[in-house]
Chain A
């Protein structure tokens, strides 16, 4: 019994150290994580380590809907994520928009039913409008039609687009968009191709 009291005290101190998180919330979260770990099994490439949350995932599970992420928390997360972006060493942000279009169309990859050796898609159309010709697009993210045309075909905008696809959380904490580079969903070359889809004047996105 004495030991239990000591453990409880330890938890209370941890909870108090985490601004705005009550002890009840902390306990519910810990229990939810514990039952999740007992309720999932590894399957193919999807191992149980996928349930281990990083700082971004932890914070963004707590802030949603009516409790948006506080400005100071957001700024901290964005700063840390920004510092970890790896831009192409040769400073080349654009690849081939045709490759980018293929990546935008396919959502295959990283599900336990997918072949881990096959190339992964970006599935951009699941959430964004891109070209005018693809009518089957989602609305979870904003329309990206005329992305480059509206913003200017500048090297700065290419770099911004590369960074945003690489790690959306660096620009907008708790965005719904995956961190395609930081989480190794897409390769450097694939991101360059997606940037070309957004930024090449010849891309259907800018027609």
Chain B
């Protein structure tokens, strides 16, 4: 378990897929514990009055990587492809507002209202930002996973809903995680 999160996402031969932590947990729940994919993905995120095992597992497993450096290989052809696709998704502008990840996270020293925005194309910002998720959101009273972070960003971008552990979510995570390489992983953290 020690340091497992720092090398994710990565290619797994048994599933023949690049997987992030959450999708790997789903794979294990299906292959080892006998759940159906639907059962394993049923409650991806907690909410008011509802605690879910996925959040708890993510919080526990990521905490075993605290203080270690991010070390995503991205050397397998499928890992390289996921990175390139994630990059493309990061810069993809669409929806009624023409927003993409890049709108808020492509330049230095920007704020939305009073919230500082990391430039996720730059190493130092990407390391700080990626290394701070998952996080306990005080305003929501919940531990939020990286899958949740992406899901809610796209909601605010006015996109349709990003599906839990979908290929696009894993590719984008690959892009952001690799950009954070050599940064110290310092989560679960606490955020407003």
Name the prevailing secondary structure of the A interface residues. Answer: mixed
As a 0/1 sequence over residues 125 to 158 of chain A, the CB contacts with chain B under 8 angstroms (1 = contact) are 1110000000111111000000000000000000
Q: Is the CB of B85 within 8 A of A40?
A: no
Are A110's CB and B155's CB within 8 A?
no
User: With A126-B112, A139-B110, A140-B112 in contact, is A41–B160 under 8 Å at CB?
Assistant: yes
Interface assignment of B84: CB less than 8 Å from any CB of chain A: yes
Q: How large is the interface on A (under 10, 10 to 19, 20 to 34, 35 or more residues)?
A: 35 or more
In the bound complex, residues from chain B placing their C-beta under 8 Å from that of A41 are 160-161, 163
- Output the nearest chain A residue to B162 by Cβ-Cβ distance: A40
Which of B38-46, B71-79, B98-106 contacts its partner? B98-106
Which interface residue of B109, B115, B168 has the most chain A CB atoms within 10 A?
B168
Contacts of B97 in A (CB 8 A): 110, 178, 183, 185
Q: How many A-B residue pairs have CB under 8 A?
A: 134
Cross-chain contact A138 with B163 (CB below 8 angstroms): no
Q: Can you list 22 contacts pairing A with B, beta carbon distance less than 8 Å? A: A31-B85, A32-B89, A35-B166, A38-B166, A38-B168, A40-B161, A40-B162, A42-B160, A43-B161, A50-B94, A50-B160, A51-B159, A57-B93, A57-B98, A61-B94, A110-B96, A111-B155, A138-B115, A140-B117, A179-B98, A183-B97, A184-B96
Q: Using a CB–CB distance below 8 Å, which chain A residues touch chain B?
A: 28-29, 31-33, 35-36, 38-43, 46-48, 50-53, 56-57, 60-62, 64-65, 110-113, 125-127, 135-140, 169, 176, 178-179, 183-185
